[in-house]
Structure formats: structure tokens, C-alpha cells
Amino acid sequence: MKYVADIVVTLKRSILDPQGDAVRSALKSMGYTGVQDVRIGKRIEVRLEAADEAECRQTVDEMCAKLLANTVMETYDFSIREAPRE
Amino acid sequence: MKFGIVVFPGSNCDKDVQTAARAVGHDADFIWHTDTSVDGFDCLVLPGGFSYGDYLRTAAIARFSPVMEPVARYAASGRPVIGICNGFQVLLEAGLLPGAMLRNTSCKFVCKPQRIRVESTRTPFTRKFRQGQVITLPIAHGDGNYYIDGETLEQMERGGRVVFRYCDESGEPTPESNPNGSLNNIAGICNNAGNVLGMMPHPERAAEGILGGADGRLLLESVAQWVQGGGKIG
């Protein structure tokens, strides 16, 4: 089966995000006074083949832990869907 | 004494390290990132630069280079390994040193001479410095904001594993003299055994007076003296 994994990597909540802070103050100065907090992360899309969804999930989790995120400072989350037929 | 300089695609301080090693009277040769042996070298240096373009995260991809397995074995055997700037980031990503690098709090790439205080002279890399000596080395990085969890930070501080700290001209590690937001003004750390050093400042860019400073020489001379003396920690 072909799958698409949508992975989002963000800095841990406990860690200051200087880029997010800069964007937050930009939004505020633009008049969006309701903005409370901005966190910036990365979205990574991986297309892969796996026997089934469980195997796909396990593989993606491993990829995140080993390479795509640095768990010292980041957390990750992902969703998996079947790839649309071409 | 022969330094081995690990070259990744995107390393750009490799030649500077070689020139600095030669300036202090030692030999230095390059090790390509696909090499699977680091035999024949007395000290390894992972130089600065932008390995693999720093895509994804600084040093995230470099740490999976084939050469990193023999580098890890070399480090585990107690022989000296220095990671400078991007090389420091590679050592962090590879787990040879604890912690991680965040974006500078200013969100800017900082490139300037920086005062640094020598916090420990017990490492192979700092034995020729004086305890508390204030030196000036160039820094040049966008992601040098050292981060580690509080518990490990405390262990490192107690264990004397903070080797260099950013400071002002009087040697005080003030918030104003911290160029990137690093916890406790940390500029360089070593592992438990003391034989693996990671530092953001560039000693190789300050190894000859004509370059504006020679404080970096002592680091290379220290490790050379240590190796030539038999290489015992302590």
C-alpha cells in the first residue's frame, strides 16, 4: 500500500521560540491584538510504501525519532492517509 | 602529531583548521565523510560550516554520515575529538555530547570577535590556558543557543563539563555578553570522560597574530601536548 504521512515538528512548549516571538509581535503591531502566542514548526510530507497502516505508522514514528525531529528540543506528531491513486 | 579533519559536504572551515594546525607545527589531513576509518590520527576535528546545507536542522543529516561510526568508536576509546561550530552541532546530534542547539534568540547570524572565559583547564584541550583566563575568539553562527534540560545542566556544571563561557571584558558571564541566548552563557562543553569537546567559537580563526588574534593556538597546543604526553585524562 502507498501512504502519505503528514508530519509536524515543533519546539517543545517549555522552549523559547524566538522566531515565533518575532512573528507574534509583528502580528500584534499589525493590529491583531488578540494574538496570544505563535509557535513555528516544520511540516514534512513523506510518501512511502508499507504492508499496512500499522507498519507505516511504526516506520514513520521511527523516522521522526531518529532523524526528522530532535527530541531534546522538539516534539512531533503525524497523521497517515492512503495515497490517492495516480 | 597528526590532526584528522572530517570533511562533510558543506564544511567550510576544514582548510582553516589545517592551516592552524600547521601554524603550531603539526600535521593535519582530511577525512572524507564517506570514509569508514579514522585510523592514523592523534586527534579528530569536526570543523565548522553548513554540513549538508544544514537542511532539516543544523547537523541533522551529517550525523548519519558513514564516517560518524568510526568517529564514535574513536571517541569511546578515549582519544581526543573536537567539534567546532557546525562540528559541535554534529557531536550534539550524534549524541556524543548532551544537549541541542536552538536558533539564536536574536534570530540573527552573529559574526564577531567574542570574549570567552576558560572554565576548566582539566581537559586535554585547555591545559595550557589559565583557569578563568579571558580570551577572544571569533564566533559565526545562527544556531548557537545551547539548550539542555535543567537536571543535566546542573550535573554538567557540577562536574566541571562547561569548558568555555561567553563573558564581558572583565570575565563576567553577563546576559549582555551572551551572543545567542545559550543557557548559563555556555560556549563550549566536554563529555564525562573529558576527551570530547564541543565549542561554538572558532579557535582556528585565531591562530596567528596576523589574523587579529592568536588565542586559539593554545587549544591546539594543549591537545598536542596532551597526546605527546601519553594522553591521560586528569
End-to-end Cα spacing for chain B:
20
Tell me the ipTM for this assembly. 0.86
**Is A71 part of the contact surface with chain B (CB cutoff 8 Å)?**
no
Does the annotation mark B85 as catalytic? yes
CA diameter of chain B: 45
Please list every residue in chain A whose beta carbon sits closer than 8 Å to the beta carbon of residue B105.
Answer: 16, 18
Question: Which of A19, A67, A73 lies nearest to residue B107, judging by beta carbons?
Answer: A19
In chain A, residues 45-64 whose CB comes closer than 8 Å to chain B: none
Enter the C-alpha cell of residue A8.
Answer: 509536524
d(CA B138, CA B213): 9
Q: Which residue of A has its CA nearest to B152?
A: A72
Decide if A64 contacts B57 (C-beta within 8 A): no
Q: What pLDDT, on a 0 to 100 scale, did the predictor assign at position A16?
A: 87
Question: Which of B100, B103, B105 lies nearest to residue A70, judging by beta carbons?
Answer: B100
- CATH number at B2-228: 3.40.50.880
**What is the number of structural domains in chain A?**
1
pLDDT tens per residue, chain B (234 residues)?
A: 999 999 999 999 999 999 999 999 999 999 999 999 999 999 999 999 999 999 999 999 999 999 999 999 999 999 999 999 999 999 999 999 999 999 999 999 999 999 999 999 999 999 999 999 999 999 999 999 999 999 999 999 999 999 999 999 999 999 999 999 999 999 999 999 999 999 999 999 999 999 889 999 999 999 999 999 988 664
DSSP letter, residue A14: T
The domain containing residue A72 runs over which residues?
A: 2-82
d(CA B168, CA B178): 9
Which secondary structure element, helix H or strand E, spans residue A50, and what is its range? Answer: none
* Catalytic residue (choose from B26, B141, B167, B204): B204
Beta bridge partners, B147, equal B100
Please enumerate in sequence order all residues whose Cβ is within 8 A of that of B157, keeping only pairs 6 or more positions apart, or say none. B184
Query: b/e for B187-200, b at 16 or more Cβ within 10 A?
Result: bbbbbeebbbbbbb
Please enumerate in sequence order all residues whose Cβ is within 8 A of that of B15, keeping only pairs 6 or more positions apart, or say none. none
d(CA B178, CA B209): 25
CATH number at residue A74: 3.30.1280.10
Sign of the CA dihedral running A66, B98, B148, B86: negative
Is B104 in contact with A18 (Cβ distance < 8 A)? yes
Sign of the CA dihedral running B153, B180, B96, B217: negative
Is B102 in contact with A15 (Cβ distance < 8 A)? yes
Decide if B137 contacts B202 (C-beta within 8 A): yes
Is A19 in contact with B103 (Cβ distance < 8 A)? yes
Q: Which residue of B has its CA nearest to A16?
A: B105
- Choose, out of A14, A62, A72, A74, the residue to mutate when testing the contact with B (most B CBs < 10 Å): A72
Please list every residue in chain B whose beta carbon sits closer than 8 Å to the beta carbon of residue A72.
Answer: 92, 99-100, 147-149
Q: What would the 3-class secondary structure string for chain B be?
A: CEEEEEECCCECCHHHHHHHHHHCCCEEEEEECCCCCCCCCCEEEECCECHHHHCCCCCCCHHHCCCHHHHHHHHHCCCCEEEECHHHHHHHHCCCCCCEEECCCCCCCEEEEEEEEECCCCCCCCCCCCCCCEEEEEEEECCCEEECCHHHHHHHHHCCCEEEEECCCCCCCCHHHCCCCCHHHEEEEECCCCCEEEECCCHHHCCEHHHCECCCHHHHHHHHHHHHCCCCCC
Domain ranges across chain B: 2-228
- Beta pairing class for B81-84 and B43-46: parallel
Can you tell me whether residue A72 is helix, strand or coil?
Answer: coil
**Is A16 part of the contact surface with chain B (CB cutoff 8 Å)?**
yes
pLDDT tens per residue, chain A (86 residues)?
A: 999 999 999 999 999 898 899 999 999 999 999 999 999 999 999 999 999 999 999 999 999 999 999 999 999 999 999 998 87
Backbone angles phi, psi at B226, to 5 degrees: -65, -45
**Is A79 part of the contact surface with chain B (CB cutoff 8 Å)?**
no
Q: What pLDDT, on a 0 to 100 scale, did the predictor assign at position B233?
A: 60
d(CA B30, CA B169): 36
Computed over every residue of chain A, the mean pLDDT equals 95
